[in-house]
């Protein structure tokens, strides 16, 4: 049976994943209002993935015989200083989520809970990919975002994400 402390951490992680979905939807809305459909699409797809993450953890807790408690989700920031700011915010947020996931892994290790370690291993891989995507986006924006042609090119590329 899963340790109480661990199940509480996983329960909190559900909330963090749902907040991630909220944050990315807010960023998607921001870009939509700026007419950048590709950027908006990128973050809308990301918001959907975050919901999947939340429910994946929810399902794991259920399988472990724990009833998840769904808490209030904080409102995300919705306004940004410029087009670059949401990209930086997303990258910072991914780093925060990575450290939270790592803490769960550490706690599972401390409990000799091999099943939870394997389960959370999937999130460790996922975070590596998402952190890289978020960091690449900031780099690409810095390279191309200052010209309208570069911004158009980047927006078209981000529009392809499904
Ligand atoms: Fe939930 O995947 Fe990153 O944050």
Percent of the chain predicted with pLDDT > 70:
100
Per-residue pLDDT, averaged over 5-32, amounts to 98
The Å distance, Cα 89 to ligand 1 centre, comes to 13
Residues with CB under 6 A from ligand 1: 17, 20, 50, 53, 94, 97, 126-127, 130
What is the structure's pLDDT at 78? Answer: 84
DSSP classification of residue 65: T
Band (pLDDT 50/70/90 cuts) for residue 63 is very high
* Rounded distance between C-alpha atoms, residue 146 and residue 87, angstroms: 14
pTM: 0.96
What is the structure's pLDDT at 54? Answer: 98
Structural domain span for residue 89: 4-159
* Rounded distance between C-alpha atoms, residue 42 and residue 59, angstroms: 26
Q: What is the CATH number of the domain that holds 65?
A: 1.20.1260.10
Closest ligand 1 atom to the C-alpha of 20? Answer: 4
Closest ligand 1 atom to the C-alpha of 126? Answer: 2
When the pLDDT of each residue in the chain is averaged and rounded to a whole number, the result is 97
- Tell me: the pLDDT tens digits for 68-118? 999 999 999 989 999 999 999 999 999 999 999 999 999 999 999 999 999
Tally of domains in the chain = 1
**148: number of Cβ within 10 Å:** 8
The Å distance, Cα 45 to ligand 1 centre, comes to 12
DSSP states along 34-46: TT-HHHHHHHHHH
Closest residue by CA, ligand 1 atom 1: 50
Closest residue by CA, ligand 1 atom 4: 94
């Amino acid at each position: 049976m899963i340790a109480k402390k661990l199940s509480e951490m996983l329960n909190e992680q559900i909330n963090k994943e749902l907040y991630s979905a909220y944050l990315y939807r807010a960023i998607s809305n921001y870009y939509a209002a700026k007419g950048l459909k590709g950027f908006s699409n990128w973050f809308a797809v990301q918001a959907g993935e975050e919901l999947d993450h939340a429910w994946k953890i929810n399902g794991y807790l259920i399988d472990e015989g724990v009833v998840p408690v769904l808490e209030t989700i904080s409102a995300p920031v919705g306004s940004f200083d410029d087009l670059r700011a949401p990209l930086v915010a997303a990258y910072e947020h991914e780093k925060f989520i990575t450290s939270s996931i790592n803490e769960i892994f550490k706690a599972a290790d401390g409990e000799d809970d091999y099943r939870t370690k394997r389960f959370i291993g999937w999130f460790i891989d996922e975070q590596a990919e998402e952190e890289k995507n978020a960091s690449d986006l900031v780099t690409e924006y810095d390279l191309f975002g200052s010209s309208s042609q570069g911004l158009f090119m980047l927006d078209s590329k981000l529009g392809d994400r499904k």
